[in-house]
A and B are shown apart, each in its own frame.
Chain A
């Protein structure tokens, strides 16, 4: 679709994007507010960041969150990529229907139900709840997103490239490692990023599956947010936003460079 922007279009864009970004901008801005009151600007200060870094509970929670994120995103990327390959490449196998259902269902399942059912599982298996149960839960939730991302790349992937590798004597495994994987690597990386941020964000499932000693940052932020707004949480949120923003910038730079290598002239 083409055509110039009318005044109405411009107004929609400006209002729409202001609505999307203003709350985040305000949140970030007020994390640098000297005053404890949200509505009063007391001057620029990094004092809440200082307090945040002295808050051992917050630091611990952040550390748990990052560890859960790294482990679960990595496992989810491996499992999710395998599932995507299975869905795209193997058109017919026993229990394909069940498999497809299980892959897509977590995408639409309300988080409360996923969390609740996993908790019941861990209780009946008599597992100690903590770091590992959260990690398992996050793998289950995020691998499906990885699958969707990788699958969409595999669907546009020229199958004859793989056949050419087989034809030239590569075993299926080597064909996958030397031809398919390098070519779908950007999608796999994007899948990992998505899994990591989802894990970083998750409150509901983590709340159900965590135990004593394993509190994630969203859980900490949530329990404080219920008590009201505090500049310290604003500071924590700002750091989280910053980390994600840096990761996204780095990822997009990496894929851009990847593209340049792929088709430099």
Chain B
């Protein structure tokens, strides 16, 4: 049967009324996103190419409509990559970028190691228990991110609960300095993003056909080997999905390093914030934003390629 699902757009294509109806649907979100997402982004791009002095707030736009084409051409000559060059010159920004990459990558790795066993146990749990476990894993997502990070300050600070507990059981004599270190940032990231890692892995494990493992064992594979040869490869899409879901937001994270990392952990999101609010160097901050975007775009393009591969493998 010809069921042209992909072609549904073809209906009434010559019809003016339906075309108008369509634009009533597409139009509002399109205009909204164009005005409040695309346009601001273009402004950032332009700002990153503006000179620092002229752009000090209240800044003069590098392009203005009233300038006309001749004026634009003139301004084009004033555009400069100075901001990007100064990013390279000042080790502060590069350091922040590399620190962010390192911290996000480490957090992702730790999350896989912690999240996989949890997801695996959830998938093996009896059927009527599973929805409860899934709800339990999702619930923290609905509570404020800020609050969940804030909760750790009370636990990690020198006179906090963790030190008190450790001292009480006699493990330590002096309080450990955890808050305001990179370790605290890692704990905060792992804690905040754990559901994002657990849920995709769980989803791929839950789909896994139990008879595949039985077949592997039937063909002479001991359980642990069947796990490595069947379960792990088949749950890789979930692991990858989780890794991307965690790595990308962790890279630009602001709240966690700001509240838990103290002054010594410089992550790029925080650098941007302080460049913007404290130094008020907007062109430079815009340049930092552009660089951060480019860094994120890389894994994103990879990510786009992954689902297609999976779809092919699934066939």
Contacts and interface: CB of A to CB of B under 8 A. Distances in A.
Interface of A: 1-6, 8-10, 12-13, 16-17, 19-21, 23-24, 26-27, 30, 37-39, 78-80, 82-83, 85-86, 89-93, 95, 98-99, 102-103, 105-106, 108-114, 116-118, 120-121, 123-124, 136-137, 139-140, 143, 147, 159, 172-173, 197, 200-201, 203-204, 208, 218, 221-222, 225-226, 228-229, 233-234, 237, 240-241, 244-245, 248
A241 B164 contact: no
B29 A83 contact: yes
B123 interface: yes
Interface string B175-208: 0000000000000000100110010000001111
B146 A222 contact: yes
Interface in B4-57: 5-10, 18, 21-22, 25-26, 28-30, 32-34, 36-41, 43-44, 47, 57
A241 B22 contact: no
A117 B33 CA distance: 13
Given A3-B213, A83-B26, A117-B289, 15 more contacts: A4-B124, A5-B126, A12-B121, A16-B198, A78-B28, A91-B8, A93-B9, A110-B252, A110-B254, A112-B269, A159-B8, A221-B147, A244-B142, A244-B143, A248-B142
A117 B44 contact: yes
B37, B126, B296 pick with most chain A CB within 10 angstroms: B37
Nearest to A162: B8
Given A1-B205, A13-B122, A90 B26 contact: yes
Contact of B133 (A13, A92, A173): A13
A9 B191 contact: no
A112 B7 contact: no
B105 interface: no
B74 to A, nearest CB: 20
Contacts of B152: 23
A218 B142 CA distance: 15
B221 interface: no
Contacts of A240: 143-144, 147
Given A3-B210, A10-B121, A16-B198, A218 B276 contact: no
B37 A106 contact: yes
A147 B28 CA distance: 13
A74 to B, nearest CB: 14
B254 A39 contact: no
Contacts of B194: 16, 19-20
Contacts of B253: 110
B85 interface: no
A116 B28 CA distance: 23
11 contacts: A10-B121, A16-B117, A20-B137, A93-B9, A99-B33, A102-B37, A120-B40, A120-B44, A121-B40, A200-B144, A233-B150
A23 B118 contact: no
A38 B154 contact: yes
Contacts of A89: 8-9, 25
B248 interface: yes
The range of chain B's interface size is: 35 or more
Is chain A's binding surface mostly helix, strand, loop or mixed?
A: helix
A78 B28 CA distance: 9
Contact of B26 (A1, A82, A204): A82
B22 A121 contact: no
A79 B153 contact: no
B136 interface: yes
A142 B22 CA distance: 23
A2 B155 contact: no
Contacts of A159: 5, 8
B47 A120 contact: yes
Contact of B36 (A118, A200, A218, A245): A118
A24 B124 contact: no
Contacts of B150: 27, 221, 225, 229, 233, 237
A201 B145 contact: yes
Contacts of A136: 36
A120 B139 CA distance: 35
Contacts of A21: 136, 140
B38 A116 contact: no
Nearest to A90: B9
Nearest to A173: B21
B273 interface: yes
Contact of A5 (B121, B146, B153, B164): B121
Given A20-B137, A85-B25, A112-B252, A1 B123 contact: yes
B113 to A, nearest CB: 11
Contacts of A83: 26, 29, 33
Which of B41, B159, B198: most chain A CB closer than 10 A? B41
A9 B29 CA distance: 46
B118 A201 contact: no
A241 B252 CA distance: 25
A124 B114 CA distance: 46
Contact of A113 (B38, B208, B210, B292): B292
